[in-house]
Structure 1
Amino acid sequence: MKTLAICLSILALLLSLPLAQAQTDTAQPAAREVSYSEPKLQQFANAYRAIVELSREYAPKLKAAADIEEAEAINREAQGKMIEAIRSAGLTKEEYQQIAGSLKSDPALVEKVNKMLQKDQR
């Protein structure tokens, strides 16, 4: 059961994975270059931060789930809240995923978003 809960928590964290993966996966050849405005990147950074917080909140709940049904319900709730966090930041899920995908092949974009995240933490 714990293995299943861990797997489900990993699924819940998938929305927050792209930025972390982009930081370590910069060797891939660049796909098409896309330019994002500063406000759009700030919206992404805000959504990313909210998703990280939700991931931290829900990971222990998923690990403590008594059975698969409970774990799936918790996972659905977490994913719903993550999508709402993206919308609250002013993005669609597709826009969030597009920017996250661009991070995989654009180290300069990763650096720009990381600076926004660090600046906002102060």
Structure 2
Amino acid sequence: MKPTVIYSAALALLLAVSGAFAETAISDSQLEKFATAYRSIVDLSREYAPKIKGAADSAAAEAINVEAQSKMVAAVKSAGLSKEEYQGIVTKLRNDPELLKRVNSILQAEGAPQ
């Protein structure tokens, strides 16, 4: 169960959505910021998954998970987006194939994981 904690943290960050943001258009600039944040979150997930897996107990795993979540939120803010903006883009990506293509193009140009 420990390895799934980090993925749960990442999903929690991705799934909570601000309804107001979900209704707005997404600019190329926002997508660039999203891609930067996404790459950081993927890197953090890869860094923290083995730490959580190797934790001595569930309390230690939870502490590591909290640290990972904090760094993920900081990565989003560092990229120039609020947590709500990031989450809104994730929600739109699920329902907008053209937007997903735009993000994938940005990520492929940078060689990022998708």
User: TM-score, normalization: structure 2?
Assistant: 0.84
The alignment of Structure 1 onto Structure 2 pairs a total of residues equal to 106
Alignment map for 1:58-69 (pairs within 5 Å):
58-69=48-59
1:13 aligns with 2:10: yes
Query: Which SS does the other structure have where 2:95 is aligned?
Result: coil
Alignment map for 1:19-30 (pairs within 5 Å):
none
1:50-70 residue CA offsets vs partner (Å, 9 max, x unmatched): 000000000000100111110
Distance in 1 separating the partners of 2:14 and 2:87: 10
Structure 1: gaps (5+ residues): 19-31
| Residue 25 (structure 2) aligned to one of 35, 39, 55 | 35
Larger radius of gyration: 1
- AA matched with 1:70: A
Structure 2: gaps (5+ residues): 16-21
Distance in 2 separating the partners of 1:70 and 1:86: 25
Distance in 2 separating the partners of 1:92 and 1:17: 12
Structure 1 equivalent of residue 71 of structure 2: 81
Following superposition, which runs of at least 4 residues in structure 1 exceed 3 angstroms of deviation?
15-18
Asked if the contact 1:15–1:82 (Cα under 8 Å) also holds between the matched residues in 2, the reply is no
CA apart distance, 1:12: 2.6
User: TM-score, normalization: structure 1?
Assistant: 0.79
What is the root-mean-square deviation of aligned Cα atoms in Å?
2.0
Distance in 2 separating the partners of 1:118 and 1:16: 23
- AA matched with 2:11: L
Structure 2 equivalent of residue 49 of structure 1: 39
